Structure 1
Amino acid sequence: MKHWKRSLLSLIISAGMLVSAAPAWAAPQQMALKVNNQNVEFTMNVPIVDQGTTMVPLRTTLEAMNVKLTGVQDGNISVVINGKKITLKSKTKQINGVTYAPIRIVGEAAGYEVRWDQKSRTVLLLSKSVKEGARGFMWEVKNNGNTVYLVGSIHIADDSFYPLRSAFEEAFAEADYLGVEIDISKAADKEQQQLIMNKGTYQDGTTLKDHVSKDTYAKLGEILKQYEMQPNALDAFKPWVVETTISSLKSMAAGYKAEAGIDLYFIQKAIERKLPVLELESYQSQLSMFDGFSKELQEKNLKSTLDNFDTLDDSVGQLTDMWKSGNDQLLLEFTNSMAVDPEYNKAMLIDRNLGMADKIDGYLKSDKKAEYFIVVGAGHYLGEHGVIKLLEDKGYAVVRK
């Protein structure tokens, strides 16, 4: 664990600085559908894109996937998959008397990987390999007729993370709500961008050079030049913004990106399903936390990133391998390693975990009898001050899934 750099902690703890692309919207259009390279024959009704969501004739598509449809009512699709009864909560649409549903929701719940072939304008449903997808981190809590799934996210990823193992998709398919730290699909909104500028830049006429040592500033300039940027390109920003930016440059160079992160993956699916998205925190609270770090801690974190820049991609690889294997012991060791800096540990984990646990407690005590799919950084769950321990202290039984 000593090789994991503090500069990467935000990848499994905080999503606030990650900017994502908004989902594309297109006019309705016709297309083809294949299940394991076999064309699905439709009569009059064919797949369409409706307000950005690919919709397919439900009954015909399910039959092609060898899934039995037992009923559709108020957006609840009841099916039998491999002998197991599942209710998919999804928007449906009637077209010429035929029920349409989003292909990703029904396809992934049935154990297929959903792809789009632009050249042939074909939706491809491919059976996932016999080998189960990445294990990741997920727990289940039940109370008062409510079920809460606790999913540990990593905020950057690549295509190798997908498809996720079926337990994730099945739990999400039945969810009534998605809960996240913050809705990062809104990161590009003017309001959020202005908030970052207000919090992350100097407003008093000074620059980064006035707030860090000459050595730190010189190292930053050398790294920026490696990316064909001017040495003073980040002068307007505070050390905590510069640290995140530098880490992101290295992560992207290694092929990882926020657009593939676990939380954004489910946010995009929630948008497709028109599923309510609950925020356990806010942009204001996350950015205020970073901005509230002492001057000494901000430079310490930035210096650590710069000093270890050449090995950051190896550290990211260790982090992603930990997530894929769902290694609880490594995650716990990682979480405990943060305790070496009391200021950092209190702000990043202890205080935030209390707030998250209180929100989840409220969901479990609700009279809604609903299912909540909660996705926050994996680093928030384990340890003496972790969300799981806090929930157990409140009397809940938390089960690893």
Structure 2
Amino acid sequence: MNRLLLTFLAAVLAGPLSAQTSVWKVTRGDSTLYLGGTSHLLRPADFPLPPEFDQAYAAATRLVCETDLARLQSPEMQQIIAARGLFTDGTTLQQALSADAWAALGRYCAQRQLPIESLRPMRPWLLTVMLAALELQKLGVSQEGVDLVYFKRAQADGKSLGQLEAFERQVDYLTGMADEQPSELVLNTLAELDQVGRDFPQLLAAWRRGDLAALDRLMNRELREKYPSLHRRLVVERNAAWLPVIERMLATPEIEFVLAGAAHMSGPEGLVARLRERGCRVEQVVAPKAR
């Protein structure tokens, strides 16, 4: 499956309950916080969420998400997507793509009875996200994700809220992710959309058990190899920018629960590995078994 789409959508979804999951306890000296690797999209069948998430949430006095989720869910974000995802200078999607990529898109649309003319105003990045969303809907992926679930709970509980990066910064990352190699991106996406249903079980299992090696292989490896500059921008640079923010949290007595996409936890540049390199103790959380 196209890992660039997975990075954008964080489409590592939940599956059956297991003994451990993508939640880690981070300690340095007497300070503690929790890291939660998340899926931004869920299905109704994915609830209830793993108990480790509730355990970390209950222990924390502050919830920290990637960015301001209230603004990310607001009409403001829809306006930004329209402004940055659609051509406004007279250019069309057909002009932005190679002849091969446009022809492949035409075949895809014909097979799915999707009117290609409706796609002409879209920039390639928005096209790939929209096509992936359509495939995910077929799998019943329509529910709010882990981050939003706990964000709403924290609002209701009056819990303190924080963010790892400014809203404007995240928007720049997301809407600018496919400026390079647009035809290659579209061709790869079209070739791999049929594999979504096949690949998801592996992703679900890896997310559910917090398997960092599998998550890196499934989510980051292809992005790292095929789109190294995008991998650097979307994963490596963001993780590097978040580390000082997390370390400042570890310098306070407050206990935070930090939620970020699971792709940011795995790999040599992942938050788990980088925090260990910086002398933190990082342990995977295992909730007590229900009697």
The Cα shift of 1:316 comes to 2.7
Q: Give the aligned partner of residue 206 of structure 2.
A: 322
Secondary structure in 1 matching 2:90: coil
Within-5 A mapping of 1:52-91: none
Within-5 A mapping of 1:350-369: 350-366=236-252, 369=253
Q: Give the aligned partner of residue 300 of structure 1.
A: 184
Within-5 A mapping of 1:133-152: 133=18, 135-143=20-28, 145-152=30-37
| 1:213 and 2:98 are equivalent in the alignment | yes
**TM-score for the superposition, normalised by structure 1:** 0.63
Which whole-Å CA distance do the structure 1 matches of 2:45 and 2:209 have between them? 13
Within-5 A mapping of 1:173-192: 173-192=58-77
Q: Give the aligned partner of residue 202 of structure 1.
A: 87
Q: Give the aligned partner of residue 38 of structure 1.
A: none
1:87-120, Cα deviation, whole Å (9 max, x unpaired): xxxxxxxxxxxxxxxxxxxxxxxxxxxxxxxxxx
Which whole-Å CA distance do the structure 2 matches of 1:134 and 1:187 have between them? 32
Instruction: Provide closer, same or farther for how the CA distance between residues 224 and 264 of structure 1 changes in structure 2, counting only shifts above 3 A.
Output: farther
The Cα shift of 1:239 comes to 0.6
The Cα shift of 1:230 comes to 2.1
Q: Is the 8 A contact 2:97 2:182 kept in 1?
A: no
| Number of residue pairs the alignment of both structures matches | 280
Which whole-Å CA distance do the structure 1 matches of 2:216 and 2:6 have between them? 16
Instruction: Provide closer, same or farther for how the CA distance between residues 292 and 260 of structure 1 changes in structure 2, counting only shifts above 3 A.
Output: closer
Instruction: Provide closer, same or farther for how the CA distance between residues 276 and 236 of structure 1 changes in structure 2, counting only shifts above 3 A.
Output: farther
2:87 partner letter: Y
Moved more, 152-161 or 226-235: 226-235
Structure 1: runs of 5+ lacking an equivalent:
15-130
Q: Is the 8 A contact 1:331 1:379 kept in 2?
A: yes
Secondary structure in 1 matching 2:94: helix
Of 130, 143, 149, the match for 1:245 = 130
Q: Give the aligned partner of residue 7 of structure 2.
A: 9
Secondary structure in 2 matching 1:308: helix
Within-5 A mapping of 1:2-401: 5-12=3-10, 133=18, 135-143=20-28, 145-225=30-110, 228-257=113-142, 259-293=143-177, 295-334=179-218, 335-340=220-225, 341-366=227-252, 369-401=253-285
The Cα shift of 1:188 comes to 4.0
The Cα shift of 1:132 comes to 5.1
Which whole-Å CA distance do the structure 2 matches of 1:133 and 1:191 have between them? 38
1:202-254, Cα deviation, whole Å (9 max, x unpaired): 23221211101223223334444555542121222211111111111101111
Which whole-Å CA distance do the structure 2 matches of 1:208 and 1:284 have between them? 25
Structure with bigger helix share is 2
Instruction: Provide closer, same or farther for how the CA distance between residues 323 and 134 of structure 1 changes in structure 2, counting only shifts above 3 A.
Output: farther
Secondary structure in 1 matching 2:26: strand
Identity of aligned residues (%): 25
Secondary structure in 2 matching 1:149: strand
2:257 partner letter: F
1:236-283, Cα deviation, whole Å (9 max, x unpaired): 2211111111111101111112x3422122122222212232121234
1:379 partner letter: A
Instruction: Provide closer, same or farther for how the CA distance between residues 236 and 274 of structure 1 changes in structure 2, counting only shifts above 3 A.
Output: farther
The Cα shift of 1:333 comes to 2.2
Instruction: Provide closer, same or farther for how the CA distance between residues 10 and 295 of structure 1 changes in structure 2, counting only shifts above 3 A.
Output: closer
Instruction: Provide closer, same or farther for how the CA distance between residues 232 and 135 of structure 1 changes in structure 2, counting only shifts above 3 A.
Output: farther
CA RMSD of aligned residues (A): 2.6
Instruction: Provide closer, same or farther for how the CA distance between residues 135 and 261 of structure 1 changes in structure 2, counting only shifts above 3 A.
Output: farther
1:8 partner letter: L
1:361 partner letter: E
1:167-208, Cα deviation, whole Å (9 max, x unpaired): 221221232111111243433423222222222222322121
1:284-314, Cα deviation, whole Å (9 max, x unpaired): 2233224444644333222211122222222
Secondary structure in 1 matching 2:48: coil
Which whole-Å CA distance do the structure 1 matches of 2:58 and 2:19 have between them? 18
2:100 partner letter: D
1:326 partner letter: G
The Cα shift of 1:319 comes to 1.5
Q: Is the 8 A contact 1:350 1:385 kept in 2?
A: yes
Which whole-Å CA distance do the structure 1 matches of 2:51 and 2:3 have between them? 32
